[in-house]
Amino acid sequence: MKYFLSSLLLFFTWHVGWSQTTTDKLTITHLTGNLYVYTSYGLFKGERIPANGMYLITKQGAVLFDAPWDTTQFKPLMDSIAKRHHKRITMHIATHWHDDRSAGLTFYGQQGAKTYTSQLTDRLCQEQHKPRAQYTFNRDTVFHVGEYIFETYYPGEGHTKDNIVIWFQNDRVLYGGCFIKSREATNLGNVSDGNAEAWPQSIRNVQKKFGQAAHVIPGHDDWKGKQSLNHTLLLLKQEGFE
C-alpha cells in the first residue's frame, strides 16, 4: 500500500510537472493538442498583472503569439520551449502594438524567427516608436505552418484600434489577446488607445464568427473557461458602452 501511494504521488508529480512549468515570473501550461498558454507579469498602476500569450508546436518549429510582458522573460520562454519541445521559435505574431504584445518583435527576430503584425499595427508601432515586425499582412490571413492552420481576424476597434484575434479551427481555440477580458476582470483596464464605443459590436463580430470556440484565451488574468466574450460585453455595458 505504501509503495502504491508513493508511486501514485510520483506519477502525479511528474504529470503536473509536464503539464505546467512555473516560476515566479513565467508559467507555461498545456492547453490542448500542441497549444500552450504562457503567463508573464507586468506592472499597471503599481499593481502586478498577469499577461497571457500562446505558442503552437509544429514540425517546422514553434509559433509564438505575442511575447512576455516582462522583457527579462523573452529568453527564458525561448529556452523553455527548446528544452521542453526541442524546437526553436520560427515565427512570432503580435496581436496589437502595446508593449505587452509587441515588445518581443526585435528580440525574436534577432533569434531567427519571422515576425509578423497587421499593417495597422505596424503603422502604430512606427508612430509610437515601438519595435516593428519584418512582415505585415493587410487582410484577415490564413497561415499554414507545418501540419497546422490558423487564421488572424480583425473584428473592429476595441481595446486598441488595431487589435486582432487568432483562431485555431482544429482545436476550436480562440486567442483574444487584450481585446477579450477575463472573467476575473472588474473593469475594462487601459482603454486610452482604444474605442470602447465600437468594442461591443466588435465582440459580437467575434461571437458570430467563432461562436463554436471551446477555449477562449484573454490577454490578462484567469484564462480557463469560455465565458470571457460575454463577460467583456457585461463590463462594457456596466461602463455605459453597450
Catalytic residue among 30, 190, 205, 222: 190
The answer to whether 231 is a known catalytic residue is no
Residue 137 has pLDDT above 50, yes or no: yes
Q: How does residue 19 score in pLDDT terms, banded at 50, 70 and 90?
A: low
Mean pLDDT lowest among 8-12, 108-112, 184-188: 8-12
- The pLDDT mean for the chain works out to 91
Catalytic residue among 66, 70, 100, 122: 100
Q: How does residue 241 score in pLDDT terms, banded at 50, 70 and 90?
A: very high
pLDDT at 43: 82
The answer to whether 122 is a known catalytic residue is no
CATH hierarchy code of domain 25-238: 3.60.15.10
| pLDDT tens digits along 144-176 | 999 999 999 999 999 999 999 999 999 999 999
Residue 216 has pLDDT above 90, yes or no: yes
pLDDT at 14: 33
| pLDDT tens digits along 35-78 | 999 999 988 778 889 999 999 999 999 999 999 999 999 999 99
The answer to whether 15 is a known catalytic residue is no
The whole-model pTM stands at 0.90
Catalytic residue among 34, 66, 92, 98: 98
The answer to whether 190 is a known catalytic residue is yes
Residue 4 has pLDDT above 60, yes or no: no
The answer to whether 98 is a known catalytic residue is yes
Taking residues 235-239, report their average pLDDT: 95
For residues 65 and 168, is the Cβ–Cβ distance under 8 A?
A: no
Catalytic residue among 159, 215, 220, 231: 159
**Domain segments of the chain: what residues?**
25-238
Q: Percent of the chain scored above 90 by pLDDT?
A: 83
pLDDT at 8: 41
Q: How does residue 220 score in pLDDT terms, banded at 50, 70 and 90?
A: very high
Q: How does residue 2 score in pLDDT terms, banded at 50, 70 and 90?
A: very low
pLDDT at 21: 78
Catalytic residue among 34, 92, 96, 221: 96
Angle at the Cα of 228 from the Cα atoms of 25 and 118, rounded to 5 degrees:
75
